[in-house]
Amino acid sequence: PGQRPQPGQRPQPAAAQLGKRSAAAARLDAILRHLRPARGAAPAPVSFLRWGGNYTLDNDVLTTEQRQFYEENGYLIIKKLVSDEDIERFRKEFVRICNKEVNPLGAMIMKDEMLRSQSVLPEKVVNKVQDFQEDEELFRYCTLPQVLKYVECFTGPNIMAMHTMLINKLPDSDKQTFRHPMHQDLHYFPFRPADRIVCSWTAMERTDRNNGCLAVLPGTHKESLKPHGYPEWEGIVNKLFHGILDYDENSPRVHVIMEKGDTVFFHPLLIHGSGVNKTSGFRKSISCHFASSECYYIDVKNTVQEDLEKETVEIARRKFNASSLDLKVRL
């Protein structure tokens, strides 16, 4: 999110066409995205966008059971998809970013405001590194063949990496500063179709209810995009951590317990969130939202996403100290 493209225009990815390309080529696309978004194209034929009305595409990767599970529930866990070695490399790179040994272009490094002024190690203060597409080491995650193999089942073969995050959920037993309210990720994405977007979220250590694992409401990917806003929690609320304003609290909820390296793929309409980290450790995860390059931008005016656009403009206006700001894609 952040640019206001023309309706019908294809989104410019963090790295385009990942499926059959080298990491270097993908990174080049990521750089070009910032410098020169390409001219958009008309939306792809409806037959591709909503193949048979299903949430998965024909493939020889998913078993029938796995495919059925995603169709019904909107998420799918693949055990041990990412190696310990890769996770260790991502962890080390995160520490280098925290220590400012590297400063990837465009990456947003978010810190816990309460801890900022205290003398603690930077890696114990940074709770999120977002948009790390210019960081070669972290961006390797988005090019791992074993991840893309699954992504392709949801997006098709032409894959774009749209949004990346490494979350470092800080210990936080009472302040709730890093509780993630229940939300649908599509709220943040002004492109469609939703069924050709998928998140890949990999646990960098075991995650359960103690350290704030993901919680999902199975089957909610079949619902529409709901209005989001700031949750009515006491104390600090994280900027842009919107939650669904009104959802059925009694819907069956699954706490997604995962081991290090396990990866969950989930639909952008699936309602999900995560709790507080009640341990003294740091719960890390690395994730990317992928989309088909056949996806196209929509105009969010008069939709439930309009307020987010306004808030994004306001944040960008303050950041760049501009009196007014109009979000556009440069052609």
Ligand X SMILES: O=C(O)CCC(=O)C(=O)O
Chain residues in the site for ligand X (CB under 6 A): 167, 169, 180, 185, 212, 272-274, 285, 287
Q: Measured from the CB of residue 53, what is the shortest distance to ligand X in angstroms?
A: 25
Between 33 and 272, CB nearer to ligand X: 272
Between 282 and 297, CB nearer to ligand X: 282
Pairwise CA distance, residues 237 & 100, whole Å:
26
Q: Measured from the CB of residue 325, what is the shortest distance to ligand X in angstroms?
A: 25
Q: Please state whether beta strands 283-292 and 197-203 pair in parallel, antiparallel, or not at all (unpaired).
A: antiparallel
Q: Measured from the CB of residue 212, what is the shortest distance to ligand X in angstroms?
A: 6
Residue of this chain nearest to ligand X (CB atom): 274
Pairwise CA distance, residues 104 & 106, whole Å:
6
Between 28 and 215, CB nearer to ligand X: 215
Q: Measured from the CB of residue 52, what is the shortest distance to ligand X in angstroms?
A: 27
Q: Measured from the CB of residue 45, what is the shortest distance to ligand X in angstroms?
A: 30
Between 9 and 285, CB nearer to ligand X: 285
Pairwise CA distance, residues 59 & 247, whole Å:
34
Tokens of 94: 């995160």
Residue 167 sits at the vertex; the CA angle it makes with 210 and 319, to the nearest 5 degrees, is: 135
Between 16 and 166, CB nearer to ligand X: 166
Q: Measured from the CB of residue 152, what is the shortest distance to ligand X in angstroms?
A: 20
Q: Which segments within the chain are labelled E, that is strand? A: 75-78, 108-111, 126-130, 159-169, 180-183, 191-192, 197-203, 214-216, 228-229, 243-244, 254-256, 263-266, 272-274, 283-292, 296-297
Between 21 and 289, CB nearer to ligand X: 289
Pairwise CA distance, residues 276 & 271, whole Å:
17
Tokens of 267: 């639909």
| Main-chain phi, psi angles of 124, to 5 degrees | -100, 5
How far from each other are the two terminal CA atoms of the chain, in whole angstroms? 18
Between 133 and 285, CB nearer to ligand X: 285
Q: Measured from the CB of residue 272, what is the shortest distance to ligand X in angstroms?
A: 6
